[in-house]
Amino acid sequence: METRDLGRVAYLPAWQAMQDFTAARDGATPDALWLCEHEPVFTQGVAGKAEHLLSPGNIPVVASNRGGQVTYHGPGQAVAYPLVNLRRAGYFVKEYVYRLEEAVLRTLVHFGVTGHRVAGAPGIYVRLADPFSHAALEKKNSFEGLGKIAALGIKVSRHCTYHGVALNVAMDLEPFSRINPCGYPGLETVDLSTIGVSTTLNEAQAVLGQKLAAYLAP
């Protein structure tokens, strides 16, 4: 897997580049992992409902072809776009999502944080009262007491993935209050900074990139 750091880029050119890469690749094209952060933007997934976009204000809204509902991207958020040939890797979409989430969980462990999955709600969550607690969730299908720290949204075309995962590192979280994050009214969104982890975007991106490269390997 070839890793590229794109730096801070606008969302639309990055999305177009992913589509172009995926359309042009063949069975011999190496997989890639693109790391970046975006200028402020709300993106709607293919199933996105207008009622979840509450008051976007001056932040642009893009109708994307990824899965899921509305989310926000902005400076201070580590965005990773794995471009993986699933047929060659030897696993299916459900396992791909599991591996994405596992890479985020292992990234959080690196910083001493325990992340959690919530049944039926892709992404990674942390316990607001004690994000460093190792205790398992009592309610595995509830957001009670949790904040979302990483969002997932993917697209698969001809067995090849694009879009990916966004981990909140140290960002302005206010724009999340203008939406129902991922379609869930009242869901709190957090970042590493607000739960007490002091790190840089570059460090968090590097760790996330290493974990993704490891967990997405065939």
- Residue 118: give the domain boundaries: 2-215
Ramachandran sector of residue 191 (left: φ over 0; alpha: ψ -120 to 50; beta: rest): beta
Of the residues 104, 182, 201, 216, only one is catalytic, namely: 182
Q: pLDDT tens for residues 138-148?
A: 887 788 899 99
Whichever domain contains 184, its CATH number is 3.30.930.10
Please indicate whether residue 160 is annotated as part of the active site.
Answer: no
Residues in the chain: 218
Q: pLDDT tens for residues 32-78?
A: 999 999 999 999 999 888 899 999 999 999 999 998 889 999 999 99
pTM of the model: 0.96
Q: Which residues have CB under 8 Å from 176's CB, separation 6+?
A: 72, 189
At 32, the amino acid letter reads A
Q: Please tell me the total count of domains within the chain.
A: 1
